[in-house]
């Protein structure tokens, strides 16, 4: 599968164990995969590296078996040792060009962006996809900026050629607003990992897209 195929999907799942109602990341990812999610990002800011490594080894097996794209948040070493499909980085992480040197052309690099300038610059620098957010208010990410609003999403949908993922405060009840503006891949963290019945929640979200 080439990189564009690996990124072409409607729902982008992210782990967040502290919002997962006592379930492990493994259990949550199993549910997401069973529900047909095709991209999953491992994002755990507070765990020790050895624990993250062990957890990601298992998640890599699960995602590989299911043909699911597996992305690691921030940690380039972890992505390399577990042979993830790529990494997702923020504006204040290592520069994208340096990450590209380490990962090579075959791996996916996603970059969070919050303005048209950052989006244009991400394309120039060779990002494979961008995150666009936070669209709405979110309490999931600690160092997050104020919502960028729907105008920025609309700008990206109309002007940016690479794949993009809308993120931040997106819930089942507002996902249609995001979809209607041209987002074709949406990420909901707490709405999915915090659902009592993850499969039913995903099916219900999908019925609105």
Q: Give the footprint of ligand 3NM on residues 170-199 (CB under 6 A).
A: 170, 188-191
Residue 77 or 137 with smaller CB distance to ligand 3NM: 137
Verify binding: residue 15, ligand 3NM, rule CB under 6 A: no
- Of 56, 8, 2, the C-alpha closest to 29 is 56
Show the CA angle centred on residue 81, arms to residues 75 and 84, nearest 5°.
70
Count CB neighbours of 174 within 10 A. 15
User: Token pair of 33, please?
Assistant: 């995969």
Candidate list 15, 20, 25, 140; residue touching ligand 3NM; CB under 6 A: 140
Q: Give dist(CA 64, CA 70) in Å, integer.
A: 8
* C-beta of residue 128 within 8 angstroms of C-beta of residue 86: yes
Q: How far is the CB of 88 from ligand 3NM (least distance, A)?
A: 9
Q: Which tokens hold the place of 87?
A: 């990494």
141 binds ligand 3NM (CB under 6 A): yes
What angle is formed at CA 140 by the lines to CA 138 and CA 141, rounded to 5 degrees?
A: 95
Assess 112 for contact with ligand 3NM (CB under 6 A). yes
Considering the complex, what minimum distance in angstroms separates the CB of residue 157 from ligand 3NM?
16
**Which amino acids are annotated as binding site for Mg(2+), given as ranges?**
74, 93
Contact residues for ligand 3NM, defined by CB under 6 A? 112, 131, 133-134, 138, 140-141, 144, 167-170, 188-191
**Which amino acids are annotated as binding site, given as ranges?**
41-45, 73-74, 93, 112, 138-141, 169, 189-190
């Amino acid at each position: 599968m080439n990189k564009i195929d690996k990124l072409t999907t409607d729902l982008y799942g992210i782990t967040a164990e502290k919002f997962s109602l006592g379930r492990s990341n493994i259990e949550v990812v199993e549910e997401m995969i069973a529900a047909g999610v095709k991209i999953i990002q491992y994002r755990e800011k507070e765990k020790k590296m050895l624990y993250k490594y062990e957890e990601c080894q298992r998640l890599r097996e699960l995602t590989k078996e299911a043909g699911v794209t597996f992305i690691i948040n921030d940690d380039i070493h972890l992505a390399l040792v577990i042979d993830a499909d790529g990494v997702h980085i923020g504006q204040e992480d290592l520069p994208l060009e340096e990450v590209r040197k380490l990962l090579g052309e075959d791996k996916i690099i996603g970059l969070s962006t919050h303005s048209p300038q950052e989006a244009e610059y991400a394309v120039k620098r060779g990002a494979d996809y961008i995150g666009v957010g936070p669209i709405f208010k979110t309490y999931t990410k600690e160092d997050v900026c104020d919502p960028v609003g729907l105008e920025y999403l609309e700008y990206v949908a109309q002007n940016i050629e690479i794949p993009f993922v809308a993120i931040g405060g997106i819930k089942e009840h507002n996902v249609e607003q995001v979809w209607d503006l041209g987002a074709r891949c949406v990420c909901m963290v707490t709405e999915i990992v915090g659902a009592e019945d993850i499969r039913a929640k995903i099916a219900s979200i999908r019925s609105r897209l």
